[in-house]
């Protein structure tokens, strides 16, 4: 099984088979417009511009399951991202990443690369506290711990890395660059 076995909906509700991205390096991200990590859109877009011609795509999946930080419609979210951050990478329909209604793609991604922690220090401890409170209701189906969790997928559709929102975006960029060389 690979990410190419999944079908998702674009922001207009059209079915998209992820096999359309076969042969590309992917960064799959659950996002939110009202999150403290929303500024990640800026380095994500910079990465997209830098690497797109080398076969790189970012797949953006808005999610409102973390403190209601993505309350808008698909069109409102898209407008916010394009106006404020100039994003050009594909944005899909708003989804759930946890619980019984989780998009199967995200359950798969998180099973392939499970959560290993946010890091250490006060900022990380606070995020862990908020994450734990938020995810209690999902039990063993709390696949994703917070907004802007990123999964790196190789050209064969295999999940090769997971980056929590606390990961340094330069480390994410370096991992993408290395994967593109393969």
90-145: pLDDT as tens digits: 999 999 999 999 999 999 999 999 998 888 777 778 778 878 888 877 888 889 99
pLDDT at 24 over 80: yes
> Based on the structure, what is the number of domains in the chain?
1
**pLDDT at residue 136, rounded to an integer:** 79
For the stretch 64-99, pLDDT in tens is 999 888 988 889 999 999 999 999 999 999 999 999
Active-site annotation holds for 35: yes
pLDDT per position as a tens digit, 27-51: 999 999 998 889 999 999 999 999 9
Tell me what the mean pLDDT of segment 156-181 comes to: 97
Could you tell me the CATH number of the domain that includes residue 152?
A: 3.40.30.10
Range of the domain at 115: 3-181
Q: Are 109 and 3 in contact (CB under 8 A)?
A: yes
Confidence of residue 63 (pLDDT cuts 50, 70, 90): very high
pLDDT value at position 68?
87
Q: Which of 27, 35, 144, 169 is catalytic?
A: 35
Calpha distance 62→145 (Å, rounded)? 14
Mind spelling out the 3-state secondary structure of 100-116?
Answer: CCCCHHHHHHHHHCCCC
Q: What is the DSSP string of the chain?
A: --GGG-EEEBTTS-EEEGGGGTTSEEEEEEE-TTSTTGGGHHHHHHHHHHHGGGTEEEEEEEB-TTTT---S-HHHHHHHHHHHH---S-BB--B--SSTT--HHHHHHHHHS------SSHHHHHHHHHHHHHHGGGGGG----STT-EEEE-TTS-EEEEE-TTS-HHHHHHHHHHHHH-
Q: Residue 123: what pLDDT?
A: 73
Q: What is the pTM of this model?
A: 0.93
């Amino acid at each position: 099984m690979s990410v190419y076995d999944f079908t998702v909906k674009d922001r207009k509700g059209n079915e998209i088979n992820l096999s359309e991205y076969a042969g590309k390096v992917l960064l799959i991200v659950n996002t939110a417009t009202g999150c403290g990590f929303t500024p990640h859109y800026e380095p994500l877009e910079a990465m997209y511009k830098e690497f797109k011609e080398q076969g790189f795509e970012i797949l953006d999946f808005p999610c409102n399951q973390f403190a209601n930080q993505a309350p808008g419609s698909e069109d409102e979210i898209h407008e916010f991202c394009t106006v404020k951050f100039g994003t050009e990478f594909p944005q899909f329909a708003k989804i759930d990443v946890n619980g019984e209604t989780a998009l199967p793609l995200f359950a798969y991604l998180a099973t392939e690369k499970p959560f290993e922690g946010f890091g250490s220090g006060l900022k990380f401890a606070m995020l862990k506290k908020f994450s734990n409170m938020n995810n209690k209701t999902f039990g063993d189906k709390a696949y994703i711990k917070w907004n802007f969790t990123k999964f790196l997928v190789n050209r064969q559709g295999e999940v090769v890395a997971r980056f929590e929102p606390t990961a340094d975006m330069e480390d994410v960029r370096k991992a993408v660059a290395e994967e593109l060389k393969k």
